[in-house]
Each structure stands twice: as structure tokens, then as C-alpha cells.
Amino acid sequence: MKILMKIYFKYFAMSLAVALLFLAVELGITFQLGQHWGEVERFPVGGSQAVGEIAESIKLDEDGQVCNGAETAEAIRATGAEWAMLLSGEGEVVWEENLPDGFARRYFAGEIAAFSRWYLEDYPVIVWKLGERLFVAGYPEGSFMRYNSLMRISEFHYYAKTFFLCLGGAALLALVLILLMGFLYYRKMRALIQAIIGLSRGEDVALSRGESFGEVAGYINETSRKLKEQQEMLKKRDESRTEWISGVSHDIRTPLAIVMGNAELIEEREGVDAQARKAAGMIKEQSLRIRSLIEDLNLTSKLAYHMQPLRLREVSLAALVRQAAAACVNQLGSGEERYPIEISLTEEFQKKRLQADGHLLLRALENVIGNAVRHNPQGCRIQIRGFLEEGRCRIAVSDSGRGIPPEVAACVNENGESTRHIMGLRLVCQIVQAHGGWVRITLPSEVLLAL
């Protein structure tokens, strides 16, 4: 948990740093824009102060008429104004310069209050009080904003464009930083994931102990080391077990051969009564079965620990099927009539050749056929079919006997364990799987081999 908290706080700190950087950039942009805005002239050539100075310079005659109208008009145009007018205390226009058509020549107090703060007919204006009179300077439509402040439209567009460009630039910078940090962490996490996958495959793993995931890398390296030690111990144990089984099998062969030889002598000796002869035959038969079981045990042990090399050569499965059936008939001897064997091989199957260990496959077929004989002492009909399906060879061995117990079928189909003795079928599965195939019990009395 401490490691996860460290990783979490690192991500949190980096994200916070990016957020603070983004905030600092935005504050800097806002400050610079505000400073620049404060430095620029809100209105051209002096703004309201200039208009006030022009208004104060107006000269009136005894009748209240403007004497220096030409100079005033020139001065007001210099500020960028489009028109100007002078209102009397009663709101009447007493002087004008380029006043637009349609403008009124008299304004009431409410109208004056409205345009002095906002606009006059969509014209932004500056109003200057001159005694009882009002001097009004109007600027072109769309040239300034006038709400709580007054600003050129072009200037507002400039500030807005600059602000959003800087905002976008800061957001892009933050995104780049986040992606960069994410990529760096992705590389580190990818190394960890690859190491974990390697562990699952039994590979040796040695990660460099970097700053961010150093502890995690250390634990993975330690796990890899322990797994390697365990694999070596298991390998030694399996080799010892296989050698022990092989040694025991070898040691049993000599006394078993003596038992079988004496039983055969008793069975064939003249003058031996029928009961003794029958007992000698049973001893010989069970000795042969013990020898077969020992050979199966030795072979299944080697196959389980990948210590039985495959002697690959080109073989004909059709020929192996016939050899296995013939071997079964020869072992049955006089009892072959109780186990009639029917062989059905398609033409494609008979032409098929495989690179395989013919001796092992023959052993697998003999075991399958032998199971049908051993588990049906009352006799049964045995059928062997060979055919091609989906490009692979199929050999189906079925019988008309009592069938295969569901527990054994489930064990074979699901590669599980069974309380019953199924060494023969387990050996069949191991041999076929060593050749890249599989074994299934498809019917209560049918075993299907796929190669």
C-alpha cells in the first residue's frame, strides 16, 4: 500500500504543478493585458480630457453664438470625432459641426441623461458640461464600446484575441506536459507489465530499479529469483522421481521375468493337472499385465516431465491402426471370437502421412483397444474408424460394451483428476498431446483421437 500511495502522491504533485503553471501563465497574461490596457489611450488624441479642453476653448458672442466655430470643428476632428454640437441650457442645438441628418435639434433632460452615459443614435459620444451648456462630440458608429468603460472595438478585439490565444497556448502547453508525463509513466508501467507477463511464462526477469517504481521493480526481481529457484527444485524433484520410477521398473523386470518363465514352464510341462495348468496360465497373464502397467507408469512419468524425446519419422496412421488391431487379436488368442474388430478407414485417411513417433502412437492405440477388451470381460464388438475432418486425422475407437463411466469421461475431456485408475487413458492423452493433438470421449463408448 505504501508503494501505491507514493505513486499516487507523485501523480498528484505533478498534476498540481501543471495546474499551478497553467494558473501562473493565465495570471501573467491577464496582468500584461491589464497593464497594456491601462497604458493605451481610451479615446484618440487625449480622449475625454481633449474634448474637455476643446469645449473650454469655445468662445461665444453677446448673442450666445460660437465665434470660433471653424477652429473648434478642426480641433474636434483631430480627436477622431465625426460630428459635434453645442446644446443650450434648454437642450436646443445652438452650434453644430457635421451633425448627421435626422438628428433632433432639441433634447430633453431624460434624453440628455441617456446619451451622455451610453450612445446617441448608435454613435458613441463624449459629453462635456460647459456652464449651463453641454458640448457633445460624436464618434463613428462601431468605433468604440461604451458601457461602464469606453474602448475601441478594434482594441477590444485585439485584447480578446490575445487572451484566448494565450489561453489556448497555455492549455496546449499543459496538455503536452500531461501527455509527456503520461508517456514516461506508460514506459515504466509497460516494463512492469512485460515483466509480469514474463513471470507468467516462466522467464527470468531483471528490471532496473528506477526512481518511480524502484520498490515494485525490486519485488518483481525478487519474485523472479524465487520462482527460478522453485523451478530448479521442481525440476530436480521431477528428475529424481522419474529416475526412481525408471529404476524400480528396471528392478521389477528381472523377478517378473522369472515368475513369467516358471509359469510358462508349469503351463507347458506334461503331467501337470488341469487346475495347476490353469493357475500357471493366470500367473502368466497377470504377470504380462503387471509388465504392461510398469511400462505405462515409466512412460507416463517421462511424458509428464518432458523427458521422453519424440523419434519423429513419416508414418501411416492406417498402418498403425491395423498393427494395433492385429496385436490385440494376437493377445486374445482363442478368445478373439468374443471381440470382433471392425476397421473402417476412408481413402483420404489411408493416404495421409504424418511426422510422428510411430512407436508411441501404436502404444496409444493398443491402450485404447485394450481398454475396450479389459472392461468388457463378457465380450463386445469393437469398431475403429479413421477419417479426415478439418484437415486433421481422426481415429474413433468405440465398442458395444458397458461404456465409459461419466467420471472418467469428464476427467479426460476436462484434463482433470479422477479417483478411478485411468493410467491407460492418461498415457493415451499424453502421447497424443505430445504430437499436438487432443483426445475426447464423444460417446459413452467412443474415444476420439485427433492428430
The torsion angle over the Cα atoms of residues 394, 443, 331 and 313, rounded to 10 degrees, is 20
32's enclosing H/E stretch is helix 2-39
With cut-offs at 50, 70 and 90, classify the pLDDT of residue 212.
low
What integer pLDDT is reported at residue 250 of this predicted model?
59
* Contact predicate 196/220, CB 8 Å: yes
Q: Note the pLDDT tens digit of each residue in 154-206.
A: 777 777 787 778 777 777 777 777 777 777 777 777 777 778 777 777 777 77
144 with 153: CB under 8 angstroms?
yes
User: Rg of the chain's alpha carbons, rounded to an integer?
Assistant: 53
Which residues does residue 126 pair with via DSSP β-bridges, in sequence order?
A: 137
3-state SS assignment for residue 205: coil
- Select the more confidently predicted residue: 298 or 135: 135
Residue 316 binned pLDDT confidence (cut-offs 50, 70, 90) = very high
pLDDT at 395: 92
| DSSP states along 50-84 | HHHHHHHT--B-TTS-BS-HHHHHHHHHHTT-SEE
What is the Cβ-side half-sphere exposure of residue 157, based on CA atoms within 13 angstroms? 6
**Per-residue pLDDT at 296:** 66
CATH topology of domain 44-148: Beta-Lactamase (3.30.450)
Residue range 214-298, CATH number: 1.10.287
pLDDT reported for residue 410: 81
Cβ contacts of 130 within 8 Å, gap of 6 or more: 55, 56, 58, 86
Owner of C-alpha cell 516494463: 191
Contact 447, 399 (CB under 8 A): no
pTM of the entire structure?
0.45
**Any idea which architecture 312-450 has in CATH?**
2-Layer Sandwich (3.30)
pLDDT digits (tens, 9 = 90+) for 108-118: 988 888 888 77
Task: Give per-residue pLDDT as tens, 257-305.
Answer: 777 777 777 877 777 787 887 788 788 777 777 776 777 666 666 666 5
φ/ψ of 367, rounded to 5, equals -65, -45
Per-residue confidence band for 40, with pLDDT thresholds at 50, 70 and 90: very low
pLDDT at 41: 45
Domain boundaries, the chain: 2-41+156-190, 44-148, 214-298, 312-450
Instruction: Compute the average pLDDT of residues 89-116.
Output: 88
pLDDT mean over 54-68? 85
Mean pLDDT, range 95-113, rounded to an integer: 89
DSSP 106: B
Q: Mean pLDDT score of the chain, rounded to an integer? A: 78
Q: Given a cut of 50, is residue 39 above it in pLDDT? A: no
Of the spans 114-123, 207-216, 349-358, which averages the highest pLDDT? 349-358
pLDDT-derived band at 42, boundaries 50, 70, 90: very low
